[in-house]
């Protein structure tokens, strides 16, 4: 009887303590993340005057998003983000797999190479962008090196070239984050039992066969993590574009992304300087939220189904 | 068996077969280190010298660029702001997240899973999309142009990840730990901060490292919340320098070097923890 009473009083104390303990974190998180996010989604269905909600507008913000003058910006940015994602998948997560495999095959030096490869990832994208902007500038060291090697003549203007700029930004982003796939793949490879590789070797599989037919199917969880992270990061891409090409995604919007477009609509640099269109910005935000949410769920499911159980 | 067959092959041909692999690793190592090397040596050169002598060591190890960046461009001020914001956000995130994770992972409340789910959903939420409403909220709270405002926003963003890490580490501690302390009459606050938290030091360091990196590097929120030069953080200042001092390359290189110095020092000290943390969770960004 007494023990029962003691447990129930302990339960009551615990409930009270739990609320007190959780409250500070929950309050900060709810006030500065959940509330503004919910209000932004809700606000995308309203007409706005400056920073004030005026009246319910149904889906009119969304339909404005897809037509002139916003349509061209939207489709442009959507395409740049998509290209960015596939570029990162091939150049960052593809080359990263090769590097991780090479490190996995060598017992010596793996920690050193991993540390070097990952270092740019702890730097701010602003620093990375600023550094590469200086290196790639006309008169910069890359121009000097290419001219010296006879691979290029005259002034290097890749960042001012609307056909080349986006590709350069994707390459800089891959340089920035190459260490991430290397670390995640090597962690995944080390979890695979050595017996599997031994067995494959006995069957006469070479290194390439071993990577693609044996290791890769077992790396599905790692590939899933990387694909999802790369998807979220590329569709949130802002810093590198802002620092290297300006908030307009120069030249002539060729490096514009959904978040730089969102920023211009929300904080004013679209069309005439200082003009904002909050309704349009929030509609774009809601759309991006849906793209990210649905895309992430689909990817997680896709890779979950392809995870090989042993 | 096969391992034997391989070692039968002469040593030299085995090493030769590995040469292309080493070459690939060396190429990417150079691709990472060369730009950073150029960054470091350019800090000590004048702009003219940067043009004349691209890859060589500087003529003299003059600190003029650093002094100019620190004082003329006032990077010192930004540096202190970044330190305050990063330190504040790390401490606040650790304290409130550990407090929340303790009952969620160790009490039987009946609503643990729901509340934990609410926190965890925040790991993936694209908070930048909420920046318009967040701006209005910050303005109404008087938190624009304020380091406190930045600390609160960053903590809010990092809390989900921190709660997730703390809850995972605290869940596996034996339950005798807090029960024995409770028998001895210890209060819940003491149990958390004197018994549980010292047992999950690895979790504290993971949360501290990744919160510090994310906050130190962030550019987006200072860009929209800070207008007054007095409160600008390092990444925001750098984004201005790149345009403003575009002809004074030495100064820009020096300010880049200054702004990455704290992260570089931390990275050298904690490279192993960082590698393992990222490899295990990938919960970096």
3-state SS of chain A is: CHHHHHHHHHHHHHHHHHHHHHHHHHHHHHHHHHHHHHHHHHHCCEEEECCEEEEECCCHHHHHHHCCCHHHHHHHHHHHHHHHHHHHHHHHHHHHHHHHHHHHHCCCCHHHHHHHHHHHHHCCHHHHHHHHHHHHCCCCHHHHHHHHCCCCCCCCCHHHCCCCHHHHHHHHHHHHHCHHHHHHHHHHHHHCCHHHHHHHHHCCCCHHHHHHHHHHHHCHHHHHHHHHHHHHHHHCCCHHHHHHHCCCCCCCCCCCCHHHHHHHHHHCCCCCCCCCCHHHHHHHHHHHHHHHHHHHHHHHHHHHHCCCCC
According to the model, what pLDDT value does residue B240 have?
A: 85
According to the model, what pLDDT value does residue B277 have?
A: 80
Tell me the chain B residues in contact with residue A96 when contact means C-beta distances shorter than 8 Å.
none
Q: Do A40 and B133 touch (CB under 8 A)?
A: yes
Confidence of residue A191 (pLDDT cuts 50, 70, 90): confident
Whether A39 shows a pLDDT value over 90: the answer reads yes
Tell me the chain A residues in contact with residue B128 when contact means C-beta distances shorter than 8 Å.
236, 238, 259, 262
In whole angstroms, what is the distance from residue A29 CA to residue A22 CA? 11
Cβ atoms B107, B115 nearer than 8 A: no
In whole angstroms, what is the distance from residue B168 CA to residue B159 CA? 14
Smallest CA–CA separation between A149 and chain B, in Å?
14
In whole angstroms, what is the distance from residue A219 CA to residue A205 CA? 18
Mean residue pLDDT of chain A comes to: 88
Whether A219 shows a pLDDT value over 80: the answer reads yes
Please check whether residue B16 touches A, CB under 8 A: no
In this prediction, residues A178-188 reach a mean pLDDT of 92
B186: phi then psi, degrees, rounded to nearest 5: -75, 140
B residues 244-283 closer than 8 Å to A (CB)? 249, 252-253, 256, 259-260, 263, 266-267, 271-272, 274-275, 278-280, 282
What is the block-wise mean pLDDT of chain B (285 residues), using blocks of 10 residues?
A: 46 73 93 93 86 81 86 88 97 97 90 91 86 93 95 96 93 88 87 92 91 93 92 91 79 90 90 80 50
Whether A270 shows a pLDDT value over 80: the answer reads no
According to the model, what pLDDT value does residue B96 have?
A: 97
Q: Do B130 and A243 touch (CB under 8 A)?
A: no
Name which of A27, A28, A186 to mutate to probe chain B: the one with the most chain B Cβ atoms within 10 A of its Cβ. Answer: A28
Residue B253: which residues within 8 A CB-CB, separation 6 or more? A134, B39, B42, B43, B50, B65
> Of the candidates A15, A141, A186, which has its C-beta nearest B109's C-beta?
A15
> How many residue pairs bridge chain A and chain B with CB atoms within 8 Å of each other?
248
Give the Cβ contact number of residue B189 at 10 Å: 13
Q: Do B133 and A114 touch (CB under 8 A)?
A: no
Tell me the chain A residues in contact with residue B31 when contact means C-beta distances shorter than 8 Å.
175
Residue of A nearest to B6 (CA): A201
Domains in chain B and their CATH numbers? 2-64 (no CATH), 67-281 (1.10.3720.10)
Confidence of residue A5 (pLDDT cuts 50, 70, 90): low
Please check whether residue B113 touches A, CB under 8 A: no
Residue of A nearest to B245 (CA): A134
ipTM of the complex: 0.88
Cβ atoms B117, B129 nearer than 8 A: no
Cβ atoms A138, A154 nearer than 8 A: no
Residue of A nearest to B89 (CA): A28
Termini Cα distance of chain A: 50
Smallest CA–CA separation between B181 and chain A, in Å?
14
Cβ atoms B146, B231 nearer than 8 A: yes
Q: Do B252 and A37 touch (CB under 8 A)?
A: no
Smallest CA–CA separation between A36 and chain B, in Å?
5
């Amino acid at each position: 009887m007494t023990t029962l009473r003691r447990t129930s009083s302990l339960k009551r104390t615990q409930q009270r303590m739990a609320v007190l303990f959780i409250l500070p974190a929950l309050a900060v998180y709810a006030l500065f993340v959940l509330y503004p996010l919910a209000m932004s989604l809700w606000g995308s269905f309203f007409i706005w005057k400056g920073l004030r909600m005026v009246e319910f507008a149904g889906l009119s913000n969304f339909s404005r998003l897809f037509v002139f003058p916003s349509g061209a910006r939207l489709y442009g940015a959507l395409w740049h983000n998509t290209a960015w994602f596939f570029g990162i998948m091939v150049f960052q997560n593809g080359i990263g797999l090769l590097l991780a495999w090479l490190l996995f095959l060598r017992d010596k030096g793996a920690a050193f190479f991993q540390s070097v490869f990952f270092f740019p990832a702890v730097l701010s994208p602003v620093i990375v962008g600023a550094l590469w902007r200086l290196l790639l500038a006309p008169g910069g060291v890359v121009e000097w090196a290419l001219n010296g090697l006879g691979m290029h003549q005259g002034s290097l203007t890749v960042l001012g070239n609307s056909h080349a700029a986006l590709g350069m930004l994707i390459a800089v982003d891959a340089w920035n984050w190459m260490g991430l796939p290397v670390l995640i793949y090597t962690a995944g490879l080390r979890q695979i039992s050595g017996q599997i590789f031994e067995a494959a070797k006995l069957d006469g599989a070479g290194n390439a066969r071993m990577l693609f037919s044996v290791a890769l199917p077992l790396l599905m969880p790692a590939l899933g993590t990387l694909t999802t992270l790369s998807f979220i990061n590329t569709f949130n891409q802002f810093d590198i574009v802002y620092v290297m090409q300006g908030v307009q995604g120069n030249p002539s919007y060729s490096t514009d992304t959904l978040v730089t477009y969102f920023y211009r609509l929300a904080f004013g640099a679209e069309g005439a300087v200082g003009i904002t269109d909050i309704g349009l910005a929030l509609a774009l935000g809601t759309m991006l939220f849906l793209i990210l949410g649905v895309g992430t769920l689909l990817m997680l499911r896709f890779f979950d189904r392809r995870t090989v159980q042993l | 068996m096969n391992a034997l067959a391989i070692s039968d092959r002469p040593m030299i041909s085995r090493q030769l077969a590995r040469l292309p692999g080493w070459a690939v690793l060396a190429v990417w190592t150079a691709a990472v280190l060369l730009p950073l090397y150029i960054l470091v040596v350019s800090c000590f050169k004048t702009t003219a010298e940067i043009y004349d002598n691209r890859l060589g060591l500087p003529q003299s190890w003059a600190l003029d660029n650093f002094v100019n960046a620190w004082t003329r461009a006032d990077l010192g001020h930004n540096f202190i702001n970044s330190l305050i914001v990063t330190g504040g956000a790390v401490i606040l995130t650790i304290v409130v997240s550990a407090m929340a994770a303790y009952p969620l992972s160790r009490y039987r409340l009946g609503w643990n899973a729901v509340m934990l789910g609410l926190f965890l959903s925040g790991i993936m939420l694209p908070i930048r999309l909420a920046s318009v409403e967040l701006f209005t909220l910050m303005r109404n709270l008087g938190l624009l142009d304020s380091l406190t405002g930045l600390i609160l926003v960053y903590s809010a963003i990092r809390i989900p990840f921190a709660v997730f890490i703390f809850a995972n580490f605290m869940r596996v501690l034996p339950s005798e730990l807090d029960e024995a302390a409770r028998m001895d009459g210890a209060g819940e606050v003491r149990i958390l901060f004197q018994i549980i938290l010292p047992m999950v030091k690895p979790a504290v360091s993971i949360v501290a490292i990744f919160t510090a990196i994310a906050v130190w590097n962030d550019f987006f929120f200072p860009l929209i919340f800070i207008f007054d030069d007095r409160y600008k953080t390092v990444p925001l200042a750098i984004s201005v320098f790149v345009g403003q001092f575009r002809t004074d390359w030495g100064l820009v290189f020096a300010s880049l070097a200054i702004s990455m110095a704290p992260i570089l020092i931390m990275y050298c000290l904690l490279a192993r923890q960082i590698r393992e943390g990222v490899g295990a969770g990938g919960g970096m960004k």
